[in-house]
Structures are given as structure tokens and as C-alpha cells.
Structure 1
Amino acid sequence: MVFNVLKTRRFRNYFIADIVSGFGVGMSTIGANWYLMDRTGSITSVGLMLSLNVISGFLVSAFAGTFVDRWNRKSILLWANVVRAIALLLIALAFLVTGFHLEYLYAFAAVNGMGWALYMTASRSLVQELLPEKDLIHGNSLIEISLQVGMFTAGGLSGILYKFIGFEAILLLNTAAFIVSSLFLRRIEYTAMPNDNAGESYVKSFRDGFHYLAERPSLFVLGIVSIIPLVTTMVFNVVLPGYVSTAVKGDSIVFGLSDMCYGIGGLLSGFLAAPLARKLSQHGTILIIFLVSVLNLAAIAFNTTVFLLYIGCVLIGLTNSSLRILMTTTLMESVSKSYMGRATSVWMGISLLLQTVFATGLGVVIDRYSPGLGFICMSALMLIGLIAYYVLNSKSPQNQRIEA
């Protein structure tokens, strides 16, 4: 049963901290996208802001993995929350005092990107320390549940809050969420993994992380495939505001509810992915989910009704999140704990680089043509993931995971 891992007090505290943090990040990110479009009317501007988000994350990911593998991961998460809370408080005050300035949203995007990249690398590495290998798939399912509970609650509320109290109040709520999340992180008690490379220079430790993946090409490719759903989610965030506004003629509430539906699908994945993988093979489940995603995204491209958009968003959340659960579990089972931070940062850096290209390029294309084209691109991206995963696993059909 997926909830059995919550009997462990330390993971329970982590789970609650992750929900609260995800709620804050989701609410401010969704609010910022609509706020910028509301003020400028330009999807290109939304794409540029999201590009700054991922570029900032990419720059941090270059050293985050080595940093995470050398220091206490719980402490890193605490400080990441505190620094982000202070930065968002300052940005909110700047908006309240001087009014709308595009530069403030760009600063928000940079803080969000850097904080998210460091948090993701450290938090997933910490989970690998907190749970035994047999519980990793349930732990990852709960992490996805915690993320989506935070995100879909944020999606439902952000449109309403934006309409009635404004983006500045949303930033203040995000600040409070980081503080509350930190209080639960402080309650986690565990014995940190000993640092075997404490005497090494930072550069050598950084280089060893690349060598680790270079010597394991199948593992490296699997990691690349695992980031495709994440890149697709980023593209979804770029495409959705314009799609809601033009294809289905919706407002900020429809936009927020659409994102909430994505979160509902992600929440369902936390309950369905592990049982489905047990009933079928993990390999077969991943292939089926990739295929469903390709077909769903292609269908949404030609939709013009709000109701079908909500259904499609649920399926996007279900497929993307299920793939993240199953593939992240495989990576955690395969990557050595002492290299998990560095391996994750390499894949995260590649993910953010791809997101930068797609966010900027698609913003321009959608402004010129149609938001539906963005969903066609997302479908094509998932098709590439499907083919790559099939080819990768067909080389060793007897293996259910790629050994490190």
C-alpha cells in the first residue's frame, strides 16, 4: 500500500514539507504566467519569462549536483527555502510600492528557476537516503501525490486569488509556504550518508560525476528519456495561457482550473502507477503511458471546448506524472547514492537547456500561428520519448531495469 511509507516519521515530515512547498511554487508560477499575459498580452513575453526561469536553473544545475553530494541534503533544502522566501518577500514589496515592472517578474523567474533546480536535486537525493530500495516506488508515488496536491490546489486557487486579491498577495502566500515547509523539514531526523569524497577538490568531484555517466551510456540515455515528460510539462505551461485565451475563449479562472485538472491527473498517478506496473511489467506500462500521451496531446490540438480541455489536462497530468514516478524509481534503483546528486544535475541541466529552447521558440511560433501547434509539438516530443525508450529496452529485453 502506497501510504505505508508514511508510517516512517521522517518521511512523513518530508512529505508534508513537499506538499506545502509545491503549493507555494505552483500558485506563484501559475499566477505569474497569467499576470504577465494580462499586462502585456504577449505569449512571447511569457515564453521569455519561462526561459529566464530555466536558464537560471540550468546555471545552478552546473554545480548543484556536486554540492548536494558533498553536503547534508536536509540542510541544503532548508537554506533553499529560506533564501527563496526572503527573495519573494522583497519582490512582493517592490510590486506593492512601485507597481508593475517587467523586471520584477524576470527577477521572480530567476529566483524560481535557481531555487527549483537546487531543491529538485537535493530533495530527490534525500529521498534515496530516507527510504530503503523496496519502498522507493511507493515513496516516489507519494512525492508525485504531494507535488500534485500542492499544484492542483494552487491551480484552482491562483486564478481566483489573482482576480480578487492580486499577484502581490500570491507572492506573500508563497513566502509563507516556504517558511512552513522549512518547519517540517527541520523535524526530519536521520543519519546522513557519509561523504566519501570529502577530501577531493570540487573540480575532481564534479568531473567524477560526468565520468560515472559516461561509463554507463544506457543509464545516461534512460535519464535523458526520463526528462522528456518534464520538458513537455514546461511546454504545456507556455502553451496553456494562449490556448485558453484563444482556442476555448476562457479567462483566468478557466486557466487556473485547467492547471488544476493537470494536478488532478498527477494526483491519480500516485495511486495508479505502482499497481499498474505490478500488474503489467514496468517496461510495458511505460510504453503504454507514452502512447496514450502522444494520442491525447494530438487530440487536444484540435479541441475548441472548455470541458474537453479539462479532460485532456487530466490525462496530461496522469501520463506525465506516471512516467516520472516509474522512471525516477528505476534511476534511484540504478544510480549509486554517492553519485545521485551529480547524475540528477546532469539530466536536470539537459532538461533545462531543452526547456529554454522550447519556451522561447514556441512562444514566438504560437504568437504567429496557433496555440494548437504547441500541443502538436508536445505530442511529437512524447513520440520521440516512446521510440527512444522502446529502442533502449529492446536491446536487453530481459532486464527490467538498467544496472549501474
Structure 2
Amino acid sequence: MSITGPLRITVYRNLWLAVLVSNVGLWMQTVGAQWLLVGEPNASTLVSLVQTASLMPVFLLALPAGALADSLDRRRLLLTVQTALALIGGALTLVTALGDVPPALLLAFTFALGAGQALTLPAWQATIPDLVPRDQLVSASALGSISVNAARAIGPAVAGLLIAQAGAAVVFGVNALTFVLFAVVLAAWRPPAGTAPHTPEPFTSAVRAGSRYVRHSPVVRRILLRAVLFIAPGNALWALLPLVASQRLGFGSGGYGLMLAVLGAGAVAGAFLLAPIRDRVSNNQMLLAAGVVYAAVLAVLGLVRTPAVVMLALLPAGLAWVAVLSTINASMQLFLPGWVRARGLSIYQIVVAAAQALPALAWGLLADLTSLPVALTAAAGLMLAGTLTLRLWALIDTRDMDRAPAVFWPEPHLTLEPDPRVGPVLVSVRYQVTAENTPAFITAMDAVRRSVQRTGAYRWGLFQDGAGAGTFVEVYLVPSWAEHLRQHEGRLTGADRAAEERARALAEGAPEVSHLFPAGARPGGS
């Protein structure tokens, strides 16, 4: 399928272009902030702190942001956040234009802008599957990488020229205007009726549900692990590149912008070059090749001082970076069901941000304590070691998993109508299993356990009746009756149905299901 297929959808194309322009502004903002700090004492640490300050809010706020994006109208949420970001960017522009900005104040503004991005990312990424058909999600993910990396190619180059000609305040002002543009496009977009949540979950419950889903999903946990093992050492390049430019190659702001432009150009070219390759190699083969290439580039940055060689090495670095991140992001988009998509993606963003923000500071401190070559070659070794763990911790193949919503649990028949808030609710399911099927049944129920816990249960157990031969009882606790009804009404997928059918095929007859409420629970409305 063509990588540009999603761009034929007018709404997606308009929003994608707005996000591209916003990403350009954010890279201009980053370069402007970093370049203001290059001449400060302890520059290695301060420059690295720009990334930490911009990414740490994602680590702190993304999960609450995901809960909001799954519960509120995403368009209105995005519109509100872009308006606030425009005001913050305008204030930074004014302060910078009036005089020198102390490092602490600059980092505080950077943190505030990062907080806005933390609220934007889950809502935007969760909106994409509503705009693009499922069979084009991989292309949309690649286009997302193109947006980020085209911005990385354009933004720093433009920022370098503007800083040299007009100063950092102009760069910050352009960034503020990009938020205004995004807000205008959002205001013009009218989503189809019915896309906003009808019965939003309570905020605290929604946050817990998102965390619970990831905790009990081996597929998501493995995706997150692969992201950390690549990004933590790989981020040494982004954190230390301004210092490579100024201290090892003797470049000014324009040269640094050119280096970032080369990286971005490699990433954009990679997105197009990788599209036909994906049909012939597995995701794990892609990650292996990209990790080896990126490790080699880190070694070149640490050991070589020839500008032309370093510039050439940055091209495959951009390609490898986009190969890994687009593969991982698409894997998340394709696997997560709609009801928890924003929360799952927000946890992904938390992990990605943490894998960039915390190691960025560590690489800066290591470079200060030792030298740039030591820090970069150490990152190269760590990258290679992490890549080789693919033999142990490969991405789980999900191509045959049915991720469509599946409503297959029968409607509960109760003699009372409990208040939806009552809880906890104890659900018990009684099975009869022959002796020869018992080992296979116990194994099959492990997949049922993960399914039930992903979708709402916080305790689960499988017990055998000591008095009844072949009688097994599955029991689990759900926080409230409303939470259990959500399991019935759309949280389960076709893959969950298949797991349950495998277990029930090993039992005799239909299982007996009971719902137990706290003693004295009142009927709804009383």
C-alpha cells in the first residue's frame, strides 16, 4: 500500500499538515533554547536539560492526558491545549525580546510547552484511527514519522538562520504562531456525530484502567521494552549533538542546524525507502538492522572529527531512528483496542519520554565528567548490547490477532438492579472439566486471566473444588458494577473471544456464571 494513501483523506491531510507545521515550530524552539545555553557554564548539562525539561512533562502528565482523551471530546481538548500553548509561546517571545533569559526561566518555559505537548500527543494519536482505515494505519504511522523528521530537517535549519540574523526571540515567536495555525485547523474540523464518548468513565477509574491494561498485556509490555532498549542509548546522539557541532567540529548555529537537517533528511528518505522493504522483512529483522546501524553511527560521532564523514553518518542514523520508532508506534496503534487507545498510547509516550529525558541528562553528565568521545562510544556499546537482546525479547507477532471489538458475554440476568457505583463485584464462573482435559484447561485459562484483568478485574483466581471431581471455579473482582458492564459492552476483542472459546471447548457444557455484590448493596436509584 502507498505510504501517501492517508493523505488522500481531506481531514487527515489538513490535520497532518497542521501537525507538521507545529513540529517545525517545536524543533525551532528546541534549537533556540539549546543555542542560548551553549555559552553558559556547565553547558553540557544545561543543553541536555532542554530535552529533559521538554520531555519530562510527558513522563508526568501523559497518562492523565490519555484518560482525558479517552473520556472527553478530543477535538475540543486539542483546541483548548493549542490555545494555551500559543499564549505560553507568546509570553516566552516577549520575555526573550526584552532581554537575556536566565537559564532557569528558559527551562521553566520549556517545561510548560512540554506540558502542552504531553496533553496533545495522546489525543492526536488516538484520533488517527478514527480518521484513517485500519489497513492504512501503518502508512499513517510512517507519515507521522515523516512529519517529525521533516520538521527535524526544516526546523533546525530555519532556526539556525533566524538566530544568526534576528535572534532567538523571533524563533520563539514563530513557534507560537504554529500553535495558532493548528488551533485554526482544529476549529474548522467538524467530526462526525457519535465520535465523542457518550458515557465517559470517571477520571480516576479511567487512569487505573489504562495502567491495568498495559500491566496485563504481554504484547504492549514487549513493545515498551524494545522502545527503551533503543531510545535510551540512541538519545545520546540528540542530547550531545549541539556539543559535537560546537566543540568537536567547530560549527556555529547554522552548522548545527545543518546537522539536524541531514538527520531529518535521512529519516524522511528512510520512511519512503522502508515502505517496500517492510513487505519482505519482519519487524524484528527491521529492529535488528536499525540497531546495528545506529550503534555504528554513535561510534563514528565519538571517534571521528572530520565534518564530511560525520555528516554522511547522520543520514543512516535518521533512517535507523525512523525505522525503529515507526515500527514500534504502528505496532501499538494496531494492537490497542479503541476503548483504551489514548491511555495505552499515553503510557507509550511516557516510556518514550522517560527513555529520552532521563538518559539525556545522564549522557550530559557523563560527557562533563569524562569527555564526549567516551559518552558517545559508551552509548554505541549499550545500543549494540540492547539490539542483540532481540534473540531473547523479540516483538510478539500480532498479525493473526483479532483486535475488533467483540460483545459475546451474555447479558447478566439479576433479580435486583444494583447501583452502577456499587462494588467491588465478585464474578464466579463454574466449569466441569474431565481429567484428561484438565492440564490443557488450566493452561488455556491463563490467557483468559490476562483478558479479564486487562479489561477490568484487579484480582483473579482459578480454584478446584475439593469435593467435586473436575469442578473448577474462576473468580475475579471488578471495582464496580459499572466497570463490569463495560467488560460486557465493548472492552473485549475478537482475540479475547478466541482465548475464552479455547478454554470453554475443554469444559463439559456451558459454565455457570454468578455475580456477587457486597451484602446490603442498594438497588440503583434508591
Q: 2:243, 2:162 → 1: CA distance?
A: 20
Question: C-alpha separation between the residues in 2 aligned to 1:133 and 1:7?
Answer: 15
The code of the aligned residue for 1:387 comes to: L
Write out per-residue CA displacement over residues 80-112 of structure 1, whole angstroms, 9 at most, x where no aligned residue: 221111101111111222433223311222123
1:17-44 Cα offsets, whole Å, 9 max, x none, are 1111011001110121111113446111
Higher helix share: 1
| Residues 34-49 of structure 1: pairs in structure 2 closer than 5 A | 34-40=35-41, 42-49=43-50
What CA distance in whole angstroms lies between the structure 2 residues aligned with 1:377 and 1:193? 48
Higher RCO, 1 vs 2 (CA within 8 Å, ≥6 residues apart)? 1
Deviation at 1:264, TM superposition (A): 0.5
The one-letter code of the counterpart of 2:364 is G
* Aligned partner of residue 4 in structure 2, secondary structure: helix
Tell me the secondary structure at the aligned position of residue 393 of structure 1.
Answer: coil
Alignment of 1:377-392 (within 5 A): 377-392=378-393
Contact 1:47–1:238 (CA<8 Å) still a contact in 2? yes
Contact 1:50 1:359 in 2 (8 A): yes
The CA distance in 1 between the partners of 2:329 and 2:80, in whole Å, is 25
Post-superposition CA distance 1:101-144 (Å, at most 9, x none) = 22331122212321222222222111122111100111111122
Any idea what SS the aligned residue of 1:339 has?
helix
Cα RMSD between the aligned structures? 2.3
Q: Which has the larger radius of gyration?
A: 2
| Match of residue 19 from structure 2 | 18
What is the TM-score when the length of structure 1 is the normalising length? 0.92
For 1:401 and 1:367, locate their aligned partners in 2 and report how far apart those are by CA, in whole Å.
49
SS at match of 1:342: helix
Identity of aligned residues (%): 20
In the TM superposition, 1:3-402 aligns within 5 A as 3-40=4-41, 42-191=43-192, 193-195=195-197, 198=200, 200-232=201-233, 234-393=235-394, 400=399
Measured after TM superposition, the shift of residue 384 of structure 1 is 4.7
1:239 deviates by 0.6
Going from structure 1 to structure 2, the CA distance change for 1:373 and 1:151 (only over 3 Å counts) comes to: same
Specify whether residues 387 and 222 from structure 1 end up closer, same or farther in structure 2 by C-alpha distance, changes over 3 A only.
farther
Whether the 8 Å contact between 2:244 and 2:301 is mirrored in structure 1 is no
Structure 1 window deviating more from structure 2 (75-84 vs 12-21): it is 75-84
1:228 deviates by 4.8
Verify the 8 A CA contact 1:229 1:324 in the aligned structure 2.
Answer: no
Quickly say closer, same or farther: Cα 1:381–1:119, change in 2 above 3 A.
farther
Query: Structure 1 residue runs of 4+, over 6 Å off?
Result: 401-404
Shift of 1:72: 2.1
Residue 263 of structure 1, CA deviation? 0.8
Structure 2 CA distance for partners of 1:273 and 1:381, relative to 1, 3 Å: farther
- What does the per-residue CA deviation read over 1:146-171, in whole Å, with 9 as the maximum and x for residues that have no partner? 22222211121111211111001100
Gap change, CA 1:380 and 1:113, over 3 Å in 2: farther
1:12 shift after superposition: 0.6
What is the CA–CA distance in structure 2 between the aligned matches of 1:380 and 1:328, rounded to whole Å?
25
3-state secondary structure, aligned to 2:392: helix
CA distance in 1 between partners of 2:238 and 2:282 (Å): 31
Structure 1 stretch 277-286 or stretch 303-312: which is displaced more?
Answer: 277-286
Structure 1 or 2: more strand by fraction: 2
User: How far did 1:282 drift?
Assistant: 3.1
Does 220-229 or 241-250 show the bigger shift? 220-229
The 2-side partners of 1:162 and 1:229 are apart by: 32
For residues 113 and 236 of structure 2, the distance between their equivalents in structure 1, rounded to whole angstroms, comes to 17
Distance 1:186 1:211, change over 3 A: same
TM-score by length of 2: 0.71
Cα separation, 2, equivalents of 1:52 and 1:290? 27
1:335-391 per-residue CA deviation (whole Å, 9 max, x = no partner) reads 112212111222322333333331222212212322223322432443354234442
Structure 1 runs not aligned, ≥5 long: none
- Alpha-carbon spacing, 1:244–1:387, altered in 2? closer, same or farther (3 Å): same
Which has the higher mean CA deviation after the structures are superposed, 64-73 or 344-353? 344-353
Which digits, 9 at most, give the CA deviation of each residue in 1:198-217, with x for residues without a partner?
1x321111111111112212
Q: Is 2:223–2:331's contact at 8 Å kept on the other side of the alignment?
A: no
Measured in 1, the distance between the counterparts of 2:371 and 2:264 equals 25
Range that drifts further, 164-173 or 247-256: 247-256
What is the distance in 2 between the residues matched to 1:189 and 1:389?
44
1:402 to partner: Cα distance: 7.4
* Count of residues in Structure 1 that have an aligned counterpart in Structure 2: 401
Q: Deviations over 1:260-307 (max 9, x none)?
A: 111101111221222111132333223222222222222322110111
The separation in 2 between residues aligned to 1:290 and 1:227, in whole angstroms, is 12
> What is the CA deviation profile of residues 37-77 of structure 1, one whole-angstrom value per residue up to 9, with x for unaligned ones?
13446111112333232323322124111111111222222
